[in-house]
Amino acid sequence: MSIKSMTAYSNISKDFSFGELTCQIQTLNKRFLDVACNLPKELSYLELLLRKKISERVKRGKVSLSITLNFSREQELVLTPNVEVLKQVQKLGDEAAKTLNMPDEVKWSLIERLLTREKDWVKTSASSHNQEELEEAIDELVSLTVDKLLEMKMLEGDYLAKDLLGRTQSMKDSLKKIESLSENASVNYRIKLLDRLKKADLDVDLEDERILKELCLFAERVDISEEITRFTSHLVQFEGLLKNPDEIVGKKLDFIIQELGREANTIGSKTPLIEVSKEAIEIKTELEKVREQVQNIE
């Protein structure tokens, strides 16, 4: 299984016996799945079925599905009046005529103009014996368009994975430098503290157990070995998900990034070494870029 990008686009047009069908699907970043359908009015009853069909194959993101239908001239069409629209237009004409005391010929002229502006007073559909063929054609075309969409999502996902693995390697390199620079850091820091006390010429016993204990505690505060271990562990998990992703991996990657960010911040704040601080900043810079990329992963 490959990583999938949340942003993709596919568009397929196909001719059928009744005319031409075009299906267009666009996906954008969104935390959860949100499917919106833009269908011709004569196909609006299929919206729930199409939403379910897409949700079975796309798990996250904002999905916009659009279908256009152009009947061929040879296609037998069924024209039926939209009774509700006609009633509304007639009611509007009657009210205007009553309010303005219009004669009947003026009222009907007004209604005629209103019908010219209102395009939905006539419903156009395929003949009943072709309706099943139309539904099968839509099902086929949507499936093909989703196939093409997923191909694009996986292709983009491969690019994202390569970029992210390159950035994790960069963070590994910085972490190795930090590990090398901070080796025996707590011991060295304790020695420095003892030297400072000696140079301060204070009237204290440097062999006093309480002073030595405080020195040890203070030196341990700059020890970042645990943070390095946890950061390494999180990074291994992150790379593992990139190489062997689950169906929905974006949320898990985002959570791991938060954990990596906490460890990087702790390393930067605890260390007294400027060189380590610089490397911690490099790691945090890479993490920000990684965070932006992960927002685009399904």
Could you report the per-residue pLDDT of 256-281, keeping only the tens digit for each?
Answer: 999 999 999 999 888 877 888 899 99
Same domain? For 112 and 146 the reply is no
Q: What is the domain count for the chain?
A: 3
Residues 176 and 110 placed together within one structural domain of the fold: no
- What b/e readout covers 65-94, taking b as 16+ CB neighbours within 10 angstroms? bebebebeeeeeeeeeeeeebeeebeeebe
Q: Are both 165 and 288 inside the same structural domain?
A: yes
1 in a structural domain? no
* In-domain check, residue 256: yes
User: What are 12's two structure tokens?
Assistant: 């397929």
Same domain? For 188 and 253 the reply is yes
Residue 88's domain comprises 77-125
Report the C-alpha gap between 115 and 118 in whole angstroms. Answer: 5
| Residue in the block written with tokens 């070494």 | 273
Name the phi and psi angles at 227, rounded to 5.
-65, -40
- The percentage of residues in the chain with a pLDDT greater than 90, rounded to a whole number, is 48
For residue 235 the two structure tokens come to 């990074």
CA-to-CA distance for 24 and 68, rounded, in angstroms? 9
264 with 173, same domain: the answer is yes
Q: DSSP secondary-structure letter at 119?
A: G
Residue 278 lies in a domain: yes
Query: Hey, which of 75-89, 148-162, 187-201 has the most confident mean pLDDT?
Result: 148-162
The candidate with the shortest Cα–Cα distance to 245, out of 166, 293, 298, 295, is: 298
Which pLDDT belongs to residue 79? 54
Are 149 and 161 found together in one domain? Answer: no
List, in sequence order, every residue forming a beta bridge with 64; answer none if it has no partner. Answer: 26, 36
Q: Do both 145 and 160 map to the same domain?
A: no
* 111 and 239 belong to one structural domain: no
Average confidence score pLDDT of the chain: 83
Q: Cα separation of 56 and 143, whole Å?
A: 11
Which segment of 84-93, 177-186, 214-223, 242-251 scores lowest on mean pLDDT?
214-223
- The pLDDT of 96-117, averaged and rounded, is 76
Asked whether the predicted pLDDT for residue 242 surpasses 60, the reply is yes
Same domain, 117 and 210: no
Same domain, 107 and 210: no
Q: How confident is the model at residue 129 (pLDDT cuts 50, 70, 90)?
A: very low
| Per-residue model confidence (pLDDT) at position 107 | 74
Cα–Cα distance measured from residue 294 to residue 3, given in angstroms and rounded to the nearest whole number: 11
Whether residue 3 is contained in a domain is answered as: no
For residue 69, the model assigns a pLDDT of: 87
